[in-house]
Structure 1
Amino acid sequence: MTGQTRANDAVQPSENATPSASFLPRATTAAVWVLFLLSVGTLALTVTGRSAWGFAGALVIDGLTAVVWVVVTFFSGIVHSYSRRYMAGDRYLDAFFARIFAFTLVVMTMTAADHVALFAGAWLAMGLLMTSLIGHVRDWPQARAASRTARLYFLASSGLLTAGLLTLVWATGATSITGILGQVETLPRAVALVAVGCVFLAAIIQSALFPFHSWLLSSMTAPTPASALMHAGFVNAGGILLTRFAPLFAGETAVMSGIVVVGALSALLGQALLLVQTDVKRKLGASTMAQMGFMILQCGLGFFAAAITHLVLHGFYKAYLFLSSGEAVEQTAPKSAKRERLSVPGAVVSLLTALGGGALFAVLTGKGTHMDSGLFLAFVVVLTTMHAARDVLRRPSLSPSVRLVSVPLVVLTAIGAYGVLFNAVSTVIAGAPMAKAPTELTVVHVGVAALFALSYLATELGWHRSSGRLYVALLNRSQPDPDTILTRKEDYNDA
């Protein structure tokens, strides 16, 4: 582990690094910010027009497209601007900027594509460009190994998506996604289930859900800006895919329940893997796995607008964490793993804040006020709020009295902001095939809720620390492909 810690510290840019004088970084950075402004204009037109537009059978620009365009171009603009200094002096500088700009264009194309060939081609190109970024440092055997590992997963994802789309084209005779979704009701059940299985597997591979998460944990050879783009944008493609094809899933209660189970297990496993990590980037990788699990879970609940809201917020958060990871390595000192115990007043404040957060979310969004999957979503909000409140209450930097007073204000304000954004996204993407389709509350939801509660209790009581067998199992599960691990500082210096 010592070698990994040094490695994360060693790859930070020199203090004397200056933005590159090369033309391509400056040109692509300016271009992507222009795309961002155009995307904002597109979003405004979509909101005011309240209807989809584009090129019939080829491209469709609706609320979902506009939201994703704004988010993707904003993140890409930040990464481009950051990389001009971070990547200064890199021998493959122009190639790096060409790839991240091409990646931006491909993601925008995939989001707007209506023709199945264009959609599948953009999905494949998106994966291949990301594998190239993961293996950016060609001189490292480990980087080449990480690129190969990711490429295998992404080719499998593209193959499954293509198979699902071809099945739908064969069954409906339509070559556009809009045309296919318009005939969902006429699809034979067997054909629909085959297509659903292919599309779902393609989504969870791309989003690094269990058991396909190893490519993400093996991708740490990517330059930090590329990792930020990967974790803030690329892995979100699974949620976009499920949202775009929502009518295929929404009518099948068993399928939706299965999606909930897969998302929940990935979320819990990702959080468990996070608890045993010491490497900064691998912590972020496990966190991304957990967050993608929550995103897919929300799709399974039928709240596709909630999934899009989640990927927007996760993108902002994870991009910031990756781009500031070097500062965290430099400034963070080892400290005791022992956490401060909550006082009785602190526990009461935490519980009341959590209940208040769930009630506020229900009032703002209407989710949790009926006996459907919205009740489960509100329960997740309560658990998340309780976890956030208890984390703040344990911080020793504030006095106990200040913590008790400030926690409800800060946490409830955050929940209120989330509820407002959720409503805004729901309104904007209302023109998409399906923004929300809550399912009936089933025994699966009750079982997953009980599992979440038990996992939360286990984390609070530190059971993962008291069981050596569990700790080792989690540590082994989080190991990347051994061929992708850099252990010598000299390897970094040579590059």
Structure 2
Amino acid sequence: MAGNEQATGVGQLPNPQADESRAAATLTRLAWALWVASLGVLAAHVWTGETWSVAGALRVDGLTVVMWTAVTFFSGVVHSYSRRYMAGSRTIDRFFSRVFGFTLAVMVLVAADSLALFAAAWLLMGLAMADLVGTAEEWPQAQAAASVARRYFLAGSALVALALAALWWQTGATTVSGVAASISAPASLVVLLAAGALLLAAMVQSALLPFHRWLLSSMTAPTPASALMHAGFVNAGGVLLVRFAPVVTVDAAFMLAVVLVGAASALGGKLLKTVQTDVKSTLGCSTVGQMGFMIMQAGLGFFGAAITHLVLHGFYKAYRFLASGSQVAREVPSKSKRTGGMSAADAVVVAATGLAAGGLFAVLTGEGLHGETGLLLAGLVALTALHAAREFVAHASLPTPLRYGAVPLATLVAVAIYAAAYGAISGLLAGLPAVGDPAELTAVHGVVAAAFLAAYVAVETGAYRRSERLYVALLNASRPASETLLTSTEEYNEY
């Protein structure tokens, strides 16, 4: 460019050990110290079986210790990663203070017994995340994305406040535990209103359809902030439903509505993922689908499975975001590792793996052995295992013994680990009200399961691609807010 006297160049990456922000180093150590302390509290809870509380304010129970341990671990990883990622940035102190503040807000949220404290922590958590989305102050698009996120989060906070106010009005209780003790069937109109507001708030928080646009508009956030968002923030929707399980389980029809909402987002997220062209947007749509699965599990009454799902999804998604840079590679389009389709032998191995995985989960956990809604939970496990096996078996570059032997074996081992985690977390949640009562299996559940399976098969086989209208609809539905799009490289070229 004319008048540019300095040549463009790429300098050495900043060394976090040289002239590092004291705030970054201190808060990283504090984050890991919180994780160690959380492990201690978890061990004490498992050893003694006790629940600790501060009357009318805080209550440390099984859900609290599980979430404290997971959230502080993710926070420690993000803090450590960010010391190099944010090195040299003039906003590094602000970034670290927001990440640490977000961590504290989540810790307060999952321990809050006071309705007012719960609502305040929910609000602060959202505001901190919106600030993280807008970390890049020099980008108008980043500030626009932060504004979009903030509007959604404020709406979600208003729904939570409405629900809690309705529950206080109905029960006179000012604590979560007091509300749980006062709710009983049949549900009054006020309780159903509160349950509906809680579900909508969970949908906004977890970016379920049709509230997913804030998530897809947040790609201007720094990668570690995106990791924290997808590994922790969106999971709060599931935590909300578990914490207020006595409210959302009071009516069978409402629980079925929760299942339908989750199923719609699980399928919708999978469809949206198929039309994405960049790594972070693909991961974002994957989160929409995974949160749908989590809400489905809550709707079936398997709150232990929902918490297990969000914890394991958090580990997976944090890794995928922090490693997203390594996903960009140059490759000749014709050198695809996928076959044109599965052979008959491939299909048999994949189907057998899925069925074996579902059966193994049922045997190890006891879910689905007696004809209850555990059948649907085991079916979800089988479907997930089938999908995972299909991804590897269809790779022609893998040796046949590996595809037909090691892949199914590894899938079954993964299912066994998942079953163990599910059993452990369900045991920790056993003392919570209404979390151990799965919904009764009905004909409607069967219809929903059949429709879900048919739609899933249509997606997996690519049948949906025959509709150009659907393709365009998916593109439009997955388009971020226009003001958040970076349309020119000059807008983010620092040189």
Please name the residue that 1:464 is paired with. Answer: 464
Show CA shifts across 1:394-420 (max 9, x none). 123311232111122111111111111
Q: Quick one: distance in 2 between partners of 1:133 and 1:335?
A: 40
* Native 8 Å contact 1:51 1:431 kept in 2: no
- Greater share of helix: 1
Q: Quick one: distance in 2 between partners of 1:161 and 1:436?
A: 24
* Native 8 Å contact 2:223 2:322 kept in 1: yes
Moved more, 70-79 or 331-340: 331-340
Please name the residue that 2:492 is paired with. Answer: 492
Change (3 A) 1:116 1:464: same
Please name the residue that 1:9 is paired with. Answer: none
Cα deviation, residue 232, structure 1: 0.2
Please name the residue that 2:414 is paired with. Answer: 414
Amino acid in structure 1 at the alignment position of 2:483: D
* Native 8 Å contact 2:31 2:76 kept in 1: yes
Change (3 A) 1:111 1:331: farther
**1:84 and 2:83 aligned:** yes
Amino acid in structure 2 at the alignment position of 1:457: V
Please show how residues 203-282 of structure 1 align to structure 2 within 5 Å. Answer: 203-282=202-281
Cα deviation, residue 14, structure 1: 7.2
Show CA shifts across 1:415-437 (max 9, x none). 11111110010111212223322
* Native 8 Å contact 1:134 1:219 kept in 2: yes
Change (3 A) 1:62 1:346: same
Amino acid in structure 2 at the alignment position of 1:56: A
Please name the residue that 2:103 is paired with. Answer: 104
Query: Aligned with 1:308: secondary structure?
Result: helix
Amino acid in structure 2 at the alignment position of 1:115: S
Cα deviation, residue 462, structure 1: 1.4
Superposed CA RMSD in Å reads 1.7
Amino acid in structure 1 at the alignment position of 2:444: V
Q: 1:18 aligns with which of 15, 18, 21?
A: 15
**1:183 and 2:194 aligned:** no
Show CA shifts across 1:348-383 (max 9, x none). 111111111111000011111122211111111122
**1:115 and 2:121 aligned:** no
Show CA shifts across 1:259-311 (max 9, x none). 00000000100000001111111000000000000001100000000000000
Query: Aligned with 1:315: secondary structure?
Result: helix
Please name the residue that 1:163 is paired with. Answer: 162
Q: How many residues align?
A: 483
Q: Quick one: distance in 2 between partners of 1:14 and 1:409?
A: 47
Moved more, 182-191 or 411-420: 182-191
Instruction: Find runs of 4+ consecutive structure 1 residues off by over 3 angstroms.
Output: 330-340
- When normalised by structure 2's length, the TM-score is 0.94
Please name the residue that 1:7 is paired with. Answer: none
Q: Quick one: distance in 2 between partners of 1:236 and 1:247?
A: 19
Please name the residue that 1:374 is paired with. Answer: 374
Show CA shifts across 1:435-494 (max 9, x none). 322111123322221122212321232123333222111111100101000021111124
Please name the residue that 2:308 is paired with. Answer: 309
Q: Quick one: distance in 1 between partners of 2:353 and 2:38?
A: 38
* Native 8 Å contact 2:170 2:191 kept in 1: no
Amino acid in structure 2 at the alignment position of 1:116: L
Query: Aligned with 1:257: secondary structure?
Result: helix
Please show how residues 322-337 of structure 1 align to structure 2 within 5 Å. Answer: 322-330=321-329, 334=333
Change (3 A) 1:332 1:77: farther
Q: Quick one: distance in 2 between partners of 1:339 and 1:15?
A: 42
* Native 8 Å contact 2:109 2:118 kept in 1: yes
Change (3 A) 1:428 1:412: same
- Structure 2: state its 5+ residue gaps: 1-9
Q: Quick one: distance in 2 between partners of 1:14 and 1:59?
A: 50
Show CA shifts across 1:132-168 (max 9, x none). 0001111111111111111111111101110110111
Query: Aligned with 1:60: secondary structure?
Result: strand
Taking only the aligned residue pairs, the percentage that are identical comes to 54
- Structure 1: state its 5+ residue gaps: 1-12
Change (3 A) 1:331 1:93: farther
* Native 8 Å contact 2:139 2:491 kept in 1: yes
Please name the residue that 1:357 is paired with. Answer: 357
Show CA shifts across 1:76-106 (max 9, x none). 0000000000111111010000000000000
Larger RCO, structure (CA 8 Å, separation 6 or more):
1
Please show how residues 365-444 of structure 1 align to structure 2 within 5 Å. Answer: 365-444=365-444
Moved more, 211-220 or 329-338: 329-338
Change (3 A) 1:335 1:473: farther
Q: Quick one: distance in 2 between partners of 1:336 and 1:467?
A: 27
Change (3 A) 1:21 1:430: same
Amino acid in structure 1 at the alignment position of 2:174: T
